[in-house]
Amino acid sequence: CFFLGAGFMLIETKGITELALVYGSTWVVVGAVIAGILIMAFLANLVVIRFGVPHPALVYGLLGISLVTGMLLATADLSAVPNWVARLFLTGLLTLPLFFSGFAFSAELKRSASVAVALSSNLFGAMLGGFLEYNSMYFGFRSLYLLALAMYFLAFVTSLRGIRRPAEASPA
Protein backbone atom coordinates (compact mmCIF):
# COMPACT_ATOMS: atom_id res chain seq x y z
CA CYS A 1 0.00 0.00 0.00
CA PHE A 2 2.98 2.29 0.53
CA PHE A 3 3.80 2.80 -3.15
CA LEU A 4 0.10 3.06 -4.04
CA GLY A 5 -0.15 6.04 -1.68
CA ALA A 6 2.87 7.70 -3.30
CA GLY A 7 1.46 7.16 -6.79
CA PHE A 8 -1.93 8.47 -5.72
CA MET A 9 -0.48 11.70 -4.37
CA LEU A 10 1.49 12.28 -7.57
CA ILE A 11 -1.62 11.75 -9.72
CA GLU A 12 -3.68 14.07 -7.54
CA THR A 13 -1.06 16.83 -7.70
CA LYS A 14 -0.62 16.37 -11.44
CA GLY A 15 -4.38 16.50 -11.96
CA ILE A 16 -4.80 19.72 -10.00
CA THR A 17 -1.92 21.37 -11.84
CA GLU A 18 -3.00 20.33 -15.33
CA LEU A 19 -6.68 21.06 -14.81
CA ALA A 20 -5.78 24.54 -13.56
CA LEU A 21 -4.90 25.23 -17.20
CA VAL A 22 -8.41 24.20 -18.25
CA TYR A 23 -10.59 25.60 -15.45
CA GLY A 24 -8.36 28.44 -14.26
CA SER A 25 -6.74 28.46 -10.83
CA THR A 26 -9.81 28.47 -8.64
CA TRP A 27 -11.53 26.22 -6.15
CA VAL A 28 -13.28 24.65 -9.16
CA VAL A 29 -10.03 22.89 -10.10
CA VAL A 30 -9.67 21.21 -6.72
CA GLY A 31 -13.38 20.38 -6.73
CA ALA A 32 -13.18 18.82 -10.20
CA VAL A 33 -10.13 16.73 -9.32
CA ILE A 34 -11.55 15.55 -5.99
CA ALA A 35 -14.88 14.74 -7.66
CA GLY A 36 -13.03 12.81 -10.37
CA ILE A 37 -11.04 10.91 -7.74
CA LEU A 38 -14.16 10.02 -5.76
CA ILE A 39 -16.04 8.93 -8.88
CA MET A 40 -13.15 6.73 -10.03
CA ALA A 41 -12.78 5.20 -6.56
CA PHE A 42 -16.53 4.55 -6.40
CA LEU A 43 -16.59 2.94 -9.84
CA ALA A 44 -13.56 0.78 -9.01
CA ASN A 45 -15.27 -0.41 -5.83
CA LEU A 46 -18.45 -1.22 -7.75
CA VAL A 47 -16.48 -3.33 -10.22
CA VAL A 48 -14.60 -5.11 -7.41
CA ILE A 49 -17.83 -5.86 -5.54
CA ARG A 50 -19.52 -7.16 -8.69
CA PHE A 51 -16.66 -9.02 -10.39
CA GLY A 52 -13.80 -9.29 -7.89
CA VAL A 53 -10.25 -8.00 -8.25
CA PRO A 54 -8.59 -8.63 -11.63
CA HIS A 55 -5.08 -10.09 -11.83
CA PRO A 56 -2.37 -7.58 -10.83
CA ALA A 57 -0.70 -7.77 -14.26
CA LEU A 58 -3.93 -6.58 -15.90
CA VAL A 59 -4.57 -3.90 -13.28
CA TYR A 60 -1.08 -2.44 -13.37
CA GLY A 61 -0.87 -2.77 -17.15
CA LEU A 62 -4.05 -0.72 -17.59
CA LEU A 63 -2.82 1.70 -14.94
CA GLY A 64 0.42 2.22 -16.87
CA ILE A 65 -1.43 2.64 -20.16
CA SER A 66 -3.76 5.22 -18.61
CA LEU A 67 -0.78 7.17 -17.24
CA VAL A 68 1.02 7.16 -20.59
CA THR A 69 -2.20 8.15 -22.37
CA GLY A 70 -2.64 11.02 -19.92
CA MET A 71 0.93 12.12 -20.48
CA LEU A 72 0.40 12.16 -24.25
CA LEU A 73 -3.09 13.67 -24.39
CA ALA A 74 -3.24 16.06 -21.43
CA THR A 75 -1.73 18.85 -23.50
CA ALA A 76 -3.68 18.05 -26.68
CA ASP A 77 -5.43 20.91 -28.46
CA LEU A 78 -9.12 20.48 -27.70
CA SER A 79 -10.23 23.86 -29.02
CA ALA A 80 -12.32 22.20 -31.75
CA VAL A 81 -14.69 20.61 -29.21
CA PRO A 82 -17.10 22.43 -26.89
CA ASN A 83 -15.48 23.66 -23.68
CA TRP A 84 -17.62 21.45 -21.42
CA VAL A 85 -16.61 18.35 -23.44
CA ALA A 86 -12.92 19.25 -23.14
CA ARG A 87 -13.26 19.77 -19.39
CA LEU A 88 -15.12 16.51 -18.87
CA PHE A 89 -12.69 14.59 -21.07
CA LEU A 90 -9.57 15.95 -19.35
CA THR A 91 -10.99 15.46 -15.86
CA GLY A 92 -11.79 11.83 -16.70
CA LEU A 93 -8.47 11.27 -18.44
CA LEU A 94 -6.37 12.70 -15.63
CA THR A 95 -8.19 10.75 -12.91
CA LEU A 96 -8.56 7.48 -14.88
CA PRO A 97 -5.38 5.98 -13.37
CA LEU A 98 -7.11 6.14 -9.99
CA PHE A 99 -9.83 3.84 -11.31
CA PHE A 100 -7.23 1.15 -11.93
CA SER A 101 -5.28 1.88 -8.76
CA GLY A 102 -8.55 1.34 -6.89
CA PHE A 103 -8.40 -2.32 -7.94
CA ALA A 104 -4.83 -2.59 -6.70
CA PHE A 105 -5.73 -0.93 -3.40
CA SER A 106 -8.69 -3.28 -2.91
CA ALA A 107 -6.42 -6.27 -3.50
CA GLU A 108 -3.86 -4.96 -1.00
CA LEU A 109 -6.53 -4.36 1.65
CA LYS A 110 -7.95 -7.83 1.11
CA ARG A 111 -4.51 -9.43 1.41
CA SER A 112 -3.42 -7.35 4.41
CA ALA A 113 -3.52 -8.93 7.86
CA SER A 114 -4.32 -5.53 9.38
CA VAL A 115 -6.36 -2.81 7.70
CA ALA A 116 -4.84 -0.25 10.07
CA VAL A 117 -1.31 -1.19 8.97
CA ALA A 118 -2.31 -1.08 5.30
CA LEU A 119 -3.94 2.34 5.63
CA SER A 120 -1.06 3.80 7.63
CA SER A 121 1.40 2.44 5.06
CA ASN A 122 -0.68 4.08 2.35
CA LEU A 123 -0.64 7.36 4.24
CA PHE A 124 3.15 7.24 4.63
CA GLY A 125 3.39 6.53 0.91
CA ALA A 126 1.24 9.59 0.20
CA MET A 127 3.72 11.61 2.25
CA LEU A 128 6.53 10.27 0.04
CA GLY A 129 4.46 11.24 -3.02
CA GLY A 130 4.14 14.76 -1.63
CA PHE A 131 7.89 14.90 -1.18
CA LEU A 132 8.50 13.58 -4.71
CA GLU A 133 6.10 16.19 -6.08
CA TYR A 134 8.71 18.84 -5.31
CA ASN A 135 10.81 17.36 -8.12
CA SER A 136 8.35 18.97 -10.52
CA MET A 137 9.86 22.35 -9.69
CA TYR A 138 13.16 21.18 -11.10
CA PHE A 139 12.15 18.66 -13.78
CA GLY A 140 8.68 20.00 -14.72
CA PHE A 141 5.18 18.70 -14.06
CA ARG A 142 5.38 16.11 -16.81
CA SER A 143 8.02 14.36 -14.69
CA LEU A 144 5.23 13.50 -12.24
CA TYR A 145 3.94 11.00 -14.79
CA LEU A 146 7.28 9.21 -14.78
CA LEU A 147 7.51 9.29 -11.00
CA ALA A 148 3.95 7.92 -10.73
CA LEU A 149 4.83 5.16 -13.21
CA ALA A 150 7.87 4.29 -11.07
CA MET A 151 5.79 4.20 -7.86
CA TYR A 152 3.13 2.01 -9.44
CA PHE A 153 5.80 -0.30 -10.87
CA LEU A 154 7.21 -0.73 -7.36
CA ALA A 155 3.67 -1.36 -6.08
CA PHE A 156 3.24 -4.01 -8.79
CA VAL A 157 6.49 -5.74 -7.82
CA THR A 158 5.55 -5.76 -4.13
CA SER A 159 2.05 -7.03 -4.94
CA LEU A 160 3.53 -9.96 -6.87
CA ARG A 161 5.75 -10.77 -3.90
CA GLY A 162 2.69 -10.69 -1.65
CA ILE A 163 0.80 -13.07 -3.95
CA ARG A 164 3.65 -15.58 -4.09
CA ARG A 165 4.45 -15.51 -0.38
CA PRO A 166 1.29 -17.33 0.85
CA ALA A 167 1.61 -19.95 -1.90
CA GLU A 168 5.21 -20.68 -0.91
CA ALA A 169 4.27 -21.02 2.76
CA SER A 170 1.49 -23.57 2.21
CA PRO A 171 2.37 -27.27 1.99
CA ALA A 172 2.17 -28.85 -1.44
Q: Determine, yes or no, domain membership for 172.
A: no
Residue 105 lies in a domain: yes
6 domain-assigned: yes
In a domain, 118, yes or no: yes
> Could you give the number of structural domains in the chain?
1
Segment 102-129, tens digit of pLDDT? 999 988 888 888 889 999 999 999 999 9
Q: Where are the alpha helices (DSSP H) in the chain?
A: 2-23, 27-51, 56-73, 83-111, 115-133, 136-139, 143-169
Does residue 116 form part of some domain? yes
Instruction: Assign 64 a pLDDT band (cuts: 50, 70, 90).
Output: very high
Q: What is the pLDDT of residues 19-33, one digit of tens each?
A: 888 787 778 888 888
Q: Is residue 42 part of a domain?
A: yes
Task: State pLDDT tens for residues 137-167.
Answer: 888 888 899 999 999 999 999 988 866 555 4
Amino acid identity for residue 68 in this structure:
V
Q: Which residues of 102-134 are buried (b: 16+ CB within 10 A; e: fewer)?
A: bbbbbbbeeeeeeeeebeebbeebbebbeebbe
What pLDDT is stored for residue 100 in this prediction? Answer: 93
Domain containing 109 equals 2-159
Contact assessment for residue 148 and residue 10, using Cβ atoms and an 8 Å cutoff = yes
Pair 43, 137: CB distance under 8 Å: no
| Range with the poorest average pLDDT among 8-12, 17-21, 42-46, 61-65 | 17-21
CA distances from 13 to 31, 130, 157, 159 (A): 13, 8, 24, 24
Q: Is residue 170 part of a domain?
A: no
For residue 167, being part of any structural domain is answered with: no
